């Protein structure tokens, strides 16, 4: 989902179409590129529009894309360790709205600001998604 699409969803979350919004949250993992240690402004707006306690009994998962810490100099490593990444903040926001995190938030490594994913990350993401599906199936049965 692009930032524009996320912003459009954010603007349209009202009582009248809340059901469509919950379908989006239930069917998709929530993720964002990490920008300054947090999700994009559009995703932050999206998360802030989720009503309190509206994700009670809903399984959630969160991810981000990020640079690999070990591929950067000391200063950037310290900064990354200090400010963190988007996935954990997304997960915390969804949990604060009542969601149940089914797997730990995850970060997938990109090779540049706009991507692409580093070699092997797509496969790692697929495995992460399979783990989510297994956990959700166990919870549902």
pLDDT in tens, the chain (141 residues): 444 444 444 455 555 444 444 444 444 567 888 888 999 888 898 899 888 888 888 888 899 999 887 777 888 778 888 898 999 999 999 999 998 899 999 999 999 888 899 999 999 998 998 888 888 666 544
Burial (CB < 10 A; 0-12, 13-18, 19+), residue 19, is: exposed
How far is C-alpha 102 from the chain's CA centre? 13
Closest by Cα among 103, 74, 89 to 34:
89
Topology of 3-140 in CATH?
Rossmann fold (3.40.50)
Q: Give the relative orientation of helices 86-96 and 41-48 as an angle to the nearest 10 degrees.
A: 10
Q: What is the pTM of this model?
A: 0.76
């Amino acid at each position: 989902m692009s930032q524009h699409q996320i912003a459009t969803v954010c603007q349209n979350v009202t009582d009248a179409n809340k059901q469509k919004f919950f379908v989006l949250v239930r069917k998709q993992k929530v993720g964002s590129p990490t920008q300054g240690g947090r999700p994009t402004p559009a995703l932050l707006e999206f998360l802030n529009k989720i009503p309190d306690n509206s994700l009670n009994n809903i399984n959630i998962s969160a991810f981000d894309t990020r640079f690999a810490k070990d591929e950067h100099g000391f200063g950037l490593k310290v900064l990354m360790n200090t400010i963190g990444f988007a996935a954990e903040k997304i997960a915390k926001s969804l949990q604060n709205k009542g969601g149940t995190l089914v797997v730990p938030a995850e970060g997938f490594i990109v090779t540049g600001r706009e991507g692409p994913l580093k070699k092997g990350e797509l496969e790692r993401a697929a495995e992460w998604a399979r783990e989510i599906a297994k956990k959700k199936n166990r919870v549902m049965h």
